[in-house]
Amino acid sequence: MKTKRIAIETFGWYGSLAVLTAFFLVSFDIVVVQGFTYQALNFSGAVGLGLVAYHKENYSVTFLNIAWILIAIVALSRIYM
């Protein structure tokens, strides 16, 4: 069980860093919102944060991250259409 907890916490830390990195990159005009990098960081970050929230039974934050994931999926699909 300790290995599972460490893995989930690692995903959570990745999620936090991914979302923060996406925000930083857009804020300083390094990437664009419509670009793959920004949307992929948001998607993967929301997955990591959502996993931790679900594991800790924080369902309001889980819901937020599911919505974030869905928005990122739509945005990513629009990039490739």
In the chain, domain spans: 2-79
C-alpha–C-alpha distance, residues 26 and 49, integer Å: 20
C-alpha–C-alpha distance, residues 73 and 81, integer Å: 12
Q: How far apart are the first and last CA of the chain?
A: 42
Q: Would the pTM of this model clear 0.85, i.e. be above it?
A: yes
C-alpha–C-alpha distance, residues 25 and 37, integer Å: 9
- Asked whether 11 and 55 are in contact (CB, 8 A), the reply is no
The pLDDT tens digits for 7-32 are 999 999 999 999 999 999 999 999 99
Whether the per-residue pLDDT at 1 is higher than 80: the answer is no
81 CA to centre of own chain: 22
